[in-house]
Amino acid sequence: MIVTPVDFIKETKTGIKVIDVRSPAEFNHAHFPNAVNLPLLNDEERKIIGITFKQEGREAAIIKGFELVGHKFSGFIKQR
């Protein structure tokens, strides 16, 4: 099923919850109506990824992201 952006936004206004995993600053900048922020990275970690990307490139930033997030997954599951 293909959902257009307009239809998606309409659905979020009717009670469908969207989980937004972006950093708090990114979420606060803009998000879908009724979205819930469960950030994988905090703002400082997001900054580290951005600096790594600029200085070392995409692959290094991806590796850094896994280093910062990987150990958090068990906590995410336990919170549920």
Where in the chain are the domains? 1-39, 41-80
Band of residue 80 on the pLDDT scale cut at 50, 70, 90: low
Higher pLDDT, 15 or 29: 29
Higher pLDDT, 71 or 61: 61
* Burial track 40-74 (b if 16+ CB lie within 10 A, e otherwise): ebeeebbebbeebbeeeeeeebeebbeebbeeeee
pLDDT per residue over 18-43, tens digit each?
A: 899 999 999 999 998 888 999 999 99
CA distance 37 to 26: 10
- The answer on pLDDT for 52 being more than 90 is yes
**pTM exceeds 0.85, yes or no:** no
Residue in the block written with tokens 């900048």 = 29
